[in-house]
């Protein structure tokens, strides 16, 4: 992960709380969406593990109070993820259409983004404490979009001749993936914690 990653969580707090008084802060959300969509083309979910403010918040803030349970497998299913994506995107689009041609449209649209950020962060917080920090990330609409756009890019590679099956990589994986199996991992967030903890340097990322 990047050196700034642990500190980015403050932005989601600012948008979710301060944004209620200053809706213009809500426009950070579409900026974030734009950046993650651009990076997903070549690096999949790299943004999630390195630049996502909510990811930083739940990893380094919520992670201190989590029960650290196994993330339910059904939450990773596209039967859950696609409906959640369509529901949230549809609701946001509907609300924006309703405020077009009204007074104070800039602030009204900003508030829509703020409320979306607040609601999704609240869900992430509850799931993060009650199950595991990255539970929300398993079915996050933006994470799902990145998975579909570039999930096969910048994959984690396992050097079998060096792997000693110590499972240290899987213990530190925030997404609870089967790290050292060598299978395609479109939901890997490229945080590189597995790479850092591997005692034999058997893991590396390649485009």
3-state secondary structure of 91: helix
pLDDT at 181: 83
Output the average pLDDT for the chain: 94
**Residues 52-70 pLDDT 10s:** 999 999 999 999 999 999 9
Given pLDDT bands bounded at 50, 70 and 90, which one contains residue 207? confident
Residue written as tokens 């993330």? 71
Give all domains of the chain, ordered by start, each with its CATH number.
5-149 (no CATH), 154-206 (3.30.70.20)
Sign of CA dihedral 127, 131, 136, 139: negative
Q: Model-level pTM greater than 0.85? A: yes
Predicted local confidence at residue 183, as pLDDT: 84
The average pLDDT across 111-125 equals: 97
Query: Which candidate, 124, 131, 153, 149, places its Cα nearest to that of 73?
Result: 131
Q: Which residues are 205's β-sheet partners?
A: 156
Report residue 177 CA to chain centroid gap. Answer: 14
């Amino acid at each position: 992960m990047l050196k700034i990653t642990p500190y980015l969580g403050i932005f989601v707090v600012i948008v979710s709380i301060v944004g209620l008084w200053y809706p213009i802060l809500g426009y950070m959300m579409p900026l974030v969406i734009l950046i993650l969509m651009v990076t997903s083309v070549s690096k999949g979910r790299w943004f999630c593990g390195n630049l996502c403010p909510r990811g930083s918040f739940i990893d380094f803030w919520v992670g201190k109070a989590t029960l650290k349970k196994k993330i339910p497998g059904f939450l990773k299913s596209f039967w859950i993820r696609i409906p959640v994506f369509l529901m949230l995107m549809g609701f946001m689009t509907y609300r924006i259409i309703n405020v077009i041609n009204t007074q104070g449209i800039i602030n009204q649209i900003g508030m829509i983004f703020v409320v979306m950020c607040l609601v999704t962060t609240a869900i992430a917080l509850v799931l993060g404490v009650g199950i595991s920090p990255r539970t929300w990330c398993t079915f996050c609409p933006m994470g799902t979009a990145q998975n579909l756009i570039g999930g096969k890019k910048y994959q984690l590679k396992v050097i079998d001749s060096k792997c000693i099956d110590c499972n240290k990589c899987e213990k530190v994986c925030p997404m609870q993936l089967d790290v050292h199996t060598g299978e395609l991992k479109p939901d890997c967030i490229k945080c590189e914690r597995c790479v850092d903890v591997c005692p034999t340097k058997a893991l590396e990322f390649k485009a």
